[in-house]
């Protein structure tokens, strides 16, 4: 699964310059709610990626155990308890999959989609994700009472990893959260652009959307995706 290698190389560079700390896996699972329960502004302590602050979310797949050796939750910046107000935010999921199980063509497309959609299925109590599929922003509102009870990124990360791993193709997940001021959010966004391009290309190829490919800036990515899908 070489498609996302550029993303991993870029992430490696960013992590070299901005070391992340590894969070301890929570001893007790945080409570979840059935649906995305609304947290009103009056009950919120702060927002991650609110207003005009960075709110980046992306995903990269690999089958290489050197890139994603095991489940891990990483953090650059302050954990939820140490944030004093709205904060810039990024969440990147690096996912190791069993390539043979991913399939090709339509099956590959559906598998990638199902894994990406895990984020719509988690509802930790006191943590309301606000996802825009259109702008690719992922912000979150954090409730005051959840903070008082000790909600942390380790809890949210454990929820997400558990959800990703419900898909049989997923072997391990390295999850990175970022809240640091001064972090190069625009560089991270640029690095992960390739991941968004892959999703767009897959979407066009599988839905047979008729566009002028000769003038499309995603042509190179699209050719790589088509080769992987067995359509080239």
For position 9 contacting ligand SF4 by CB under 6 A, the verdict is no
Distance (Å, rounded) from C-alpha 151 to C-alpha 155?
Answer: 6
The whole-angstrom separation of Cα 83 and Cα 96 is: 31
114 CB-near residues (< 8 Å, 6+ apart)? 167
User: Among candidates 131, 173, 172, 177, which has minimal Cα distance to 154?
Assistant: 177
Q: How far is the CB of 6 from ligand SF4 (least distance, A)?
A: 17
Contact between 229 and ligand SF4 by CB under 6 A: the answer reads: no
> Would you count residue 211 as binding ligand SF4 (CB under 6 A)?
yes
The structure tokens listed for 194 are: 């390739």
| Residue whose CB is less far from ligand SF4, 130 or 136 | 136
Query: What does the alpha-carbon distance between residue 170 and residue 40 come to, in Å, rounded to a whole number?
Result: 34
Which of these ranges, 91-99, 128-136, 170-178, 201-209, lies near ligand SF4 under the rule CB under 6 A?
A: 201-209
Distance of alpha carbon 108 from its chain centroid, rounded? 18
Q: Is residue 24 involved in binding ligand SF4 (CB under 6 A)?
A: no
Q: How far apart are CA 20 and CA 175, in angstroms?
A: 11
Q: What sign for the dihedral angle of Cα 103, 107, 109, 113?
A: negative
CB 216 within 8 A of CB 222: yes
| Residue 3 binding ligand SF4, by CB under 6 A | no
Contacts of residue 76, Cβ cutoff 8 Å, sequence gap at least 6 = 18, 19, 20, 21, 176, 177, 178, 179, 180, 183
Smallest distance, ligand SF4 to C-beta of residue 204, A? 3
Tell me if 200 contacts ligand SF4 by CB under 6 A: yes
Q: Which is nearer to ligand SF4, 38 or 211 (CB)?
A: 211
How many of the chain's residues bind ligand SF4 (CB under 6 A)?
A: 10
Q: C-beta of 24: minimal distance to ligand SF4 in Å?
A: 42
Q: Which of 219, 227, 230, 232 binds ligand SF4 (CB under 6 A)?
A: 219
Q: Which is nearer to ligand SF4, 151 or 192 (CB)?
A: 192
Return the C-alpha torsion angle 105, 61, 120, 104, nearest 10. Answer: 10
Among 53, 131, 180, 218, binds ligand SF4 (CB under 6 A): 218
Nearest-approach distance from CB 190 to ligand SF4, in angstroms: 19
Check binding of 202 to ligand SF4 (CB under 6 A): no
Residues that bind ligand SF4 (CB under 6 A): 200-201, 204-205, 211, 213, 216, 218-219, 222
């Amino acid at each position: 699964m070489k498609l996302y290698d550029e993303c991993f190389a870029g992430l490696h560079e960013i992590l070299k310059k901005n070391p992340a700390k590894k969070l301890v896996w929570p001893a007790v699972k945080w409570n979840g709610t059935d649906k995305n329960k609304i947290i009103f502004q009056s009950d919120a302590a702060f927002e991650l990626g609110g207003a005009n602050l960075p709110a980046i979310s992306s995903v990269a797949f690999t089958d290489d155990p050197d890139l994603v050796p095991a489940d891990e939750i990483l953090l650059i910046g302050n954990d939820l308890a140490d944030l004093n107000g709205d904060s810039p935010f990024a969440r990147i999921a690096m996912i190791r999959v069993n390539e043979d199980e991913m399939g090709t063509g339509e099956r590959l497309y559906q598998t990638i989609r199902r894994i990406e959609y895990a984020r719509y299925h988690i509802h930790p109590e006191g943590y309301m994700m606000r996802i825009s599929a259109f702008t690719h922003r992922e912000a979150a509102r954090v409730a005051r009472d959840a903070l008082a009870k000790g909600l942390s990124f380790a809890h949210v990360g454990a929820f997400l990893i558990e959800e990703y791993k419900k898909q049989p193709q997923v072997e391990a997940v390295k999850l990175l959260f970022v809240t640091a001021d001064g972090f190069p959010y625009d560089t991270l966004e640029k690095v992960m652009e390739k991941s968004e391009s892959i999703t767009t290309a897959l979407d066009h190829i599988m839905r047979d959307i008729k566009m002028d490919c000769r003038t499309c800036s995603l042509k190179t990515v699209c050719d790589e995706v088509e080769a992987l899908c067995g359509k080239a």
